[in-house]
């Protein structure tokens, strides 16, 4: 190897390090949440010096330098900001103080839309351990008699994620709370950013709507819309949201008729499934929307991979990570606009419209 090649490879090495050490970002965030650093600073109400922060999160002062290094990384990641508190003239250096950054709001326990549970769920051994078996799963075929729909089932003796949830109450709670918090945040952005999509509707069916978080937000924002959550019997029979314009109907979206309405909503549902069942659901929707000669629309709150609203390098990288996450424990994927359009056409729909909502998500309105 000549010297020029050695230097070129040495310059490339940090990028490889950045990738194989990427788990440290996740673990740093988990540590910050377990220590409740954001909550402590928020309660203090102003930038908090390092020694006071250490005391507040019950870290011995002897380990304050380690906390300082952790905070340096959290500042770099954008969760906090660092300011300097001027000390007495005889002091050798200023004391670092830490304050909340806009991203910190997603860490606060008091906020119903916080990302705490989703973070703990995402770094849980149930989701992380299967990745250690990804190469083995990819090499497994039907002929081996050990093949599964995803690596999660491969690593959990054939069990799907909902079966593991039923056996592990803590993991199930993290999963449910995480999805509920995300639903709370997204739903409010949806009704604010896409008001025109809801104007003129008198009824809406929220397919796979769970405990009704999204439907309740819609019912509150649009009093003229009657919302029906359509989900499995064990879901709609449990604790759920209430509102005068909100009711629940049990059923299976694959085998039962979807209730007739002006609009059928899928929020983070279709990305969970491969094309064949999604196509079947869309055809079911078309029947529900065109009943009695009235034509409505399907509303899909989801991702469009590579859409112009989120195709910068950072957003695309996060989208590809999400796609692999879905591949690992579900059976679906993130779809490009062309893939969505092909499904709509095959299901008999004639047109669609995409409206960015925020972050990586969009609303797709699909018309018969």
pLDDT at position 254 is 84
| Tokens describing residue 154 | 């491969």
User: Alpha-carbon distance 32 to 107, whole Å?
Assistant: 9
pLDDT at position 294 is 60
Q: Phi first, then psi: what are they for 205, rounded to 5°?
A: -110, 125
β-pair partners for 85: 95
The answer to whether 347 touches 279, Cβ cutoff 8 Å, is yes
Domains, the chain, in order of start with CATH, read: 3-107 (1.10.10.10), 121-367 (3.40.50.150)
Q: Rounded to the nearest 5 degrees, what angle is found at the Cα of 306, between the Cα atoms of 215 and 365? A: 35
Looking at the chain, list the stretches that DSSP marks H as alpha helix, in order from N- to C-terminal side.
3-20, 23-35, 37-44, 50-56, 64-77, 116-122, 125-128, 134-138, 151-155, 161-167, 169-193, 195-198, 213-221, 233-236, 275-289, 313-329, 337-346
pLDDT at position 92 is 55
The enclosing H or E element of 99 equals: strand 95-100
The answer to whether 85 touches 49, Cβ cutoff 8 Å, is yes
C-alpha distances in Å from residue 90, one per residue of 51, 52, 64, 86, 163: 18, 21, 22, 11, 63
Q: Phi first, then psi: what are they for 342, rounded to 5°?
A: -65, -40
Secondary structure of residue 288 in the 3-state scheme: helix
pLDDT at position 150 is 93
pLDDT at position 2 is 84
Among residues 257, 265, 210, 256, the alpha carbon closest in space to that of 234 is found at 210
Among residues 296, 269, 267, the alpha carbon closest in space to that of 357 is found at 267
Q: Rounded to the nearest 5 degrees, what angle is found at the Cα of 138, between the Cα atoms of 274 and 343? A: 15
Secondary structure of residue 252 in the 3-state scheme: coil
Q: What is the largest CA-CA distance in the chain?
A: 84
User: Alpha-carbon distance 72 to 266, whole Å?
Assistant: 41
User: Which residues have CB under 8 Å from 230's CB, separation 6+?
Assistant: 205, 206, 207, 208, 209, 248, 249, 250, 251, 253, 258, 259
The answer to whether 98 touches 78, Cβ cutoff 8 Å, is no
Chain centroid to Cα 183, Å, comes to: 9
Q: Phi first, then psi: what are they for 275, rounded to 5°?
A: -60, -40
C-alpha distances in Å from residue 265, one per residue of 32, 113, 276: 36, 21, 19
Averages of pLDDT over runs of 10 residues in the chain (368 residues) are 86 94 96 97 96 96 96 97 71 80 94 92 95 94 82 94 90 88 91 94 92 93 94 82 91 87 93 92 84 78 91 89 93 94 95 94 94
Q: How many CB atoms within 10 Å of residue 77?
A: 14
Among residues 200, 209, 224, 199, the alpha carbon closest in space to that of 258 is found at 209
pLDDT at position 89 is 55
Secondary structure of residue 290 in the 3-state scheme: coil
User: Alpha-carbon distance 298 to 205, whole Å?
Assistant: 10
| Tokens describing residue 295 | 């034509």
Whether this model's pTM surpasses 0.95: no
pLDDT at position 21 is 94
């Amino acid at each position: 190897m000549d010297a020029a090649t050695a230097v070129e490879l040495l310059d490339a090495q940090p990028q490889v390090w950045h990738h194989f050490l990427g788990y440290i970002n996740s673990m740093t965030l988990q540590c910050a949440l377990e220590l409740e650093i954001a909550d402590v600073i928020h309660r203090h109400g102003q930038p908090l010096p390092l020694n006071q922060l250490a005391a507040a999160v019950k870290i011995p002062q002897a380990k304050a330098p380690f906390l300082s290094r952790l905070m340096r990384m959290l500042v770099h990641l954008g969760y906090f900001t660092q300011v300097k508190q001027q000390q007495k003239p005889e002091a050798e250096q200023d004391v670092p103080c830490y304050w909340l950054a806009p991203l910190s709001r997603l860490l606060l326990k008091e906020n119903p839309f916080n990302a705490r549970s989703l973070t703990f769920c995402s770094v849980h051994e149930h989701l992380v351990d299967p990745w250690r078996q990804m190469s083995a799963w990819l090499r497994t075929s039907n002929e081996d008699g050990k093949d599964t729909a995803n690596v999660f089932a491969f690593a959990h003796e054939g069990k799907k994620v909902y079966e593991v949830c039923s056996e592990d109450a803590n993991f199930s709670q993290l999963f449910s709370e995480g999805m509920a918090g995300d639903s709370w945040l997204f739903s409010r952005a949806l009704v604010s950013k896409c008001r025109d999509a809801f104007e003129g509707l008198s009824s809406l069916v929220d397919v796979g709507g769970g405990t009704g978080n999204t439907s309740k937000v819609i019912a509150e924002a649009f009093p003229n819309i009657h919302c029906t959550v359509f989900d499995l019997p064990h879901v709609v029979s449990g604790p759920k949201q209430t509102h005068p314009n909100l009711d629940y109907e049990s059923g299976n979206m694959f085998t039962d008729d979807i209730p007739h309405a002006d609009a059928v909503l899928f929020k983070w549902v279709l990305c969970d499934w491969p094309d064949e069942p999604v196509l079947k659901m869309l055809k079911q929707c078309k029947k529900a929307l065109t009943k009695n000669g009235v034509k409505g629309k399907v509303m899909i709150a989801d991702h469009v991979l590579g859409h112009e609203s989120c195709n910068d390098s950072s957003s695309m990288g996060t989208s590809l990570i999400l796609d692999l996450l879905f591949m690992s424990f579900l059976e679906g994927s993130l779809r490009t606009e062309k893939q969505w359009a092909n499904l709509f056409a095959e299901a008999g729909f004639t047109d669609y419209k995409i409206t960015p909502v925020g972050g990586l998500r969009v609303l797709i309105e699909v018309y018969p």
